């Protein structure tokens, strides 16, 4: 996008889409369509020509390219939307920034903090910027709760719970890039719980230390399939985190206990206001209107649509979008520290985070092998998977 003042408010933002797989079709193309008064998808690229043509036909996308570089050179889009597997994020995002496009890239942002910082080095002082998909920040209830915390309406934050208890089948891990450090960057901590943890920090602010454990209990993966962590926040609050892909009743659950209220959200892959529960502490409960004043008036679900809308606003104003720069880095820092703690058995403080070394250039120490804990006896396996 031209960041100059002459960029007209009438011209549509020209979008290039890289990767036309599951998330592109289920979330990004519908989100782009929802904003069709502001954007135009001019081209798409995918390494799979069949996949590209099927999706481009269905969504009437005119430009079709085998890779990001040729799309960028021919189409010069204002915004590049990156929906490739994680291993390709770095190269595609850098190519986009170098071509002058703003970038919106799927999670996990990058495979390491080193990659994240390298990519940030290609941003311009006034754009283009790279931002990342964290759609759960953008629903009305989360935005309202964030304001309450900033204004102190609910009292001091004390205790929090952050659970991503999801279920991914053995077949899910047959896709070659999944369950591997090199291509996915981690297990459920990096690939699934990242959304809930990002929202946890969005609401409660910076974390200061983490003590964690990560195991592989049932899936044939290189990474963990469950992790647990105790967190301390800069505010003094504490929290407990679980990230799992082996939990049959799926739940994404966050709970925030403040001195004056408990606020909870339970959903699986997306929430609206009805997913939230606001409970006043006994000393606030006499005021029968208090919850009515706390909850948001509008009901905006968490969604790619909402985040994209805010990103387009930022582009039009030429301002750094949310979920970019330091604000996009925080959850990745936490994940690196979580793995470091789980693998070394030590508590890791935010202060310890280095700009070099094993957990900067990667998320994991290759010398640490996650051993499958599942009993291999056929009788027990049958009982487990029958
Ligand atoms: N935000 C969310 O809720 C959410 C949900 C699911 C997945 N994701 C993320 O979205 C990304 C894609 O996941 P998916 O499930 O759609 O995967 P997918 O495998 O279904 O699709 C990826 C597509 O990218 C293509 N591709 C691979 N390398 C490429 C390259 N270098 N250039 C162009 N195309 C390339 C593949 O051919 C494929 O069509 C991942 O980063 C994943 O973590 C986010």
DSSP secondary structure letter of residue 106: P
Hey, what's the torsion of the CAs at 88, 93, 98, 100, to 10 degrees? 140
Contact 270, 138 (CB under 8 A): no
Question: 54-66 pLDDT, tens per residue?
Answer: 999 999 999 999 9
**25-33 contact pairs (CB < 8 A, 24+):** 25/55, 27/135, 27/303, 27/304, 28/81, 28/83, 28/304, 29/55, 29/59, 30/304, 30/305, 31/303, 31/304, 31/305, 31/308, 32/81, 32/308, 33/59
Whole-number Å distance, alpha carbon 34 to ligand 1 midpoint, is 21
What's the alpha-carbon Rg for the chain, to the nearest Å? 21
Three-state secondary-structure class, residue 260: coil
Which pair of tokens denotes residue 88?
């390709």
Q: What local confidence, expressed as pLDDT, does residue 380 receive?
A: 47
Is any atom of ligand 1 closer than 6 Å to the C-beta of 97?
A: no
Q: For ligand 1, say whether the CB of 23 is within 6 Å of any of its atoms.
A: yes
Inter-helix orientation angle 194-204/325-344, to 10°: 120
Q: What are 251's two structure tokens? A: 């739940």
Determine phi and psi for 183, rounding to 5 degrees: -110, -25
Residue of 53, 85, 190 with the most ligand 1 atoms within 8 Å of its CB, for mutation = 85
Is the minimum distance from the CB of 20 to ligand 1 under 6 angstroms? Answer: yes
Q: DSSP secondary-structure letter at 236?
A: S
Given ligand 1 and candidates 24, 49, 84, 115, which is best to mutate, with the most ligand atoms within 8 Å of its CB? 84
Token pair, residue 280, equals 């006043």
| Pocket flag, ligand 1, residue 83 (CB < 6 Å) | yes
CATH of domain 140-299+331-361: 3.30.360.10
Q: Residues 326-342: pLDDT tens digits?
A: 999 999 999 999 999 99
What's the 88 CA to ligand 1 centre distance in angstroms? 9
Is the CB of 148 inside a 6 Å radius of any atom of ligand 1? no
Specify which residues 127 forms β-bridges with.
Answer: 125
Query: Can you read off the two tokens belonging to residue 39?
Result: 């954007």
**Strand 130-132 relative to strand 348-349: parallel, antiparallel, unpaired?**
unpaired
pLDDT of amino acid 378: 53
Ligand 1, from 18, 21, 63, 81: best to mutate by most atoms within 8 Å of Cβ? 21
CATH superfamily of 5-132: NAD(P)-binding Rossmann-like Domain (3.40.50.720)
Which residue lies with its CA nearest to atom 7 of ligand 1?
Answer: 23
Q: Is the CB of 25 under 6 A from ligand 1?
A: no
Distance of CA 317 to the CA centre of its chain: 24
pLDDT at residue 1, rounded to an integer: 43
Q: Which residues in the chain are classed under CATH 3.40.50.720?
A: 5-132
Question: What does each of the 386 residues of the chain score in pLDDT, given as a tens digit?
Answer: 444 434 445 699 999 999 999 999 999 999 999 999 999 999 999 999 999 999 999 999 999 999 999 999 999 999 999 999 999 999 999 999 999 999 999 999 999 999 999 999 999 999 999 999 999 999 999 999 999 999 999 999 999 999 999 999 999 999 999 999 999 999 999 999 999 999 999 999 999 999 999 999 999 999 999 999 999 999 999 999 999 999 999 999 999 999 999 999 999 999 999 999 999 999 999 999 999 999 999 999 999 999 999 999 999 999 999 999 999 999 999 999 999 999 999 999 999 998 899 999 999 999 999 999 877 655 544 333 32
Q: How many CB atoms lie within 10 A of CB 98?
A: 12
Q: Give ranges for CATH 3.30.360.10 in the chain.
A: 140-299+331-361
């Amino acid at each position: 996008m031209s960041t100059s003042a002459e960029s007209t408010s009438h011209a549509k933002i020209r979008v290039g889409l890289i990767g036309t797989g599951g998330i592109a079709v289920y979330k990004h193309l519908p989100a782009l369509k929802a904003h069709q008064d502001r954007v135009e998808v001019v081209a798409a690229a995918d390494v799979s020509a069949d996949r590209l043509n099927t999706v481009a036909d269905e969504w009437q996308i005119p430009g079709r390219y085998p890779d990001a570089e040729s799309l960028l050179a021919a189409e010069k889009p204002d915004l590049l939307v990156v929906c490739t597997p994680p291993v390709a994020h770095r190269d595609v995002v850098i190519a986009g920034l170098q071509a002058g496009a703003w970038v919106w890239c799927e999670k996990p942002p990058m495979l390491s903090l080193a990659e994240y910082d390298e990519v940030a080095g290609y941003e311009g002082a006034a754009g283009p910027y790279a931002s990342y998909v964290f759609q759960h920040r953008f629903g009305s209830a989360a935005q309202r709760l964030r304001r309450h915390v900033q204004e102190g309406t609910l009292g001091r934050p004390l205790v929090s719970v952050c659970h991503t208890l999801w279920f991914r089948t053995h077949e899910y891990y047959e896709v070659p890039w999944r369950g591997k450090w090199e291509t996915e960057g981690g297990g459920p901590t990096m690939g699934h719980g990242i959304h809930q943890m990002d929202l946890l920090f969005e609401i409660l602010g910076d974390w200061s230390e983490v003590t964690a454990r990560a195991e592989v209990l049932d899936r044939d993966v290189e990474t963990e399939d469950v992790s647990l962590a105790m967190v301390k926040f800069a505010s003094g609050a504490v929290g407990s985190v679980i990230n799992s892909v082996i939990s049959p009743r799926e739940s994404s659950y966050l709970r925030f206990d403040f001195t004056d209220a408990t606020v909870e959200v339970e959903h699986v892959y997306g929430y609206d206001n009805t997913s939230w529960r606001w409970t006043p502490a006994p000393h606030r409960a006499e005021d029968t209107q208090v919850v009515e004043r706390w909850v948001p008036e509008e009901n905006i679900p968490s969604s790619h649509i909402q985040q994209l809308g805010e990103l387009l606003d930022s582009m039009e104003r030429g301002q750094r979008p949310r979920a970019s720069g330091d604000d996009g880095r925080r959850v990745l820092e936490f994940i690196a520290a979580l793995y470091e703690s789980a693998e070394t058995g030590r508590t890791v403080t935010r202060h310890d985070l280095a700009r070099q070394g094993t957990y900067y250039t990667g998320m994991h120490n290759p010398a640490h092998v996650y051993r499958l804990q599942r009993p291999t006896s056929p009788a027990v396996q049958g009982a487990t998977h029958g």
